Amino acid sequence: MKSYRKELWFNTPTRRAFVNITGELEKCLKESGIKEGLLLCNAMHITASVFINDDEPGLHRDFEVFLEKLAPEKPYSQYAHNGYEDNADAHLKRTIMGREVVIAVTEGKLDLGTWEQVFYGEFDGKRQKRVLVKIIGE
């Protein structure tokens, strides 16, 4: 069995962002030479996420509204964690959106559904963070 590992780095200019990383994962898969297996992609920071959904701007706006209702950024004083930092909401948003995705690799391609795309979700940006890509298979 072959194994491939790569770190992707992100530094979004805004506190929150959704970045389509499907193309980068496809490049990693090509580099790996793996034709049949599994791809794991996970955020390596506790205020960021990796998830699969549709690449549609209205939906991304809906995510923003939904997440802000569940875990509003302000007032910062509403969170015990914010005694040290002002990012408690980002930790909660990451928990909701998830840490990682696992995607089947079939015939050298990501086995995604018709509208499925992979996203890096940033909830406390303006600094460098990384995402792990691990591919195993033959």
Q: Which residues contact 116 (CB under 8 A, 6 or more apart)?
A: 52, 53, 54
pLDDT attached to residue 62: 98
Tens-digit pLDDT profile for residues 12-48: 999 999 999 999 999 999 999 999 999 999 999 999 9
Tens-digit pLDDT profile for residues 76-106: 999 999 887 899 999 999 999 999 999 999 9
pLDDT attached to residue 23: 98
Q: What percent of the chain has pLDDT over 70?
A: 100
CATH number of 2-137: 2.60.120.460
pLDDT attached to residue 20: 98
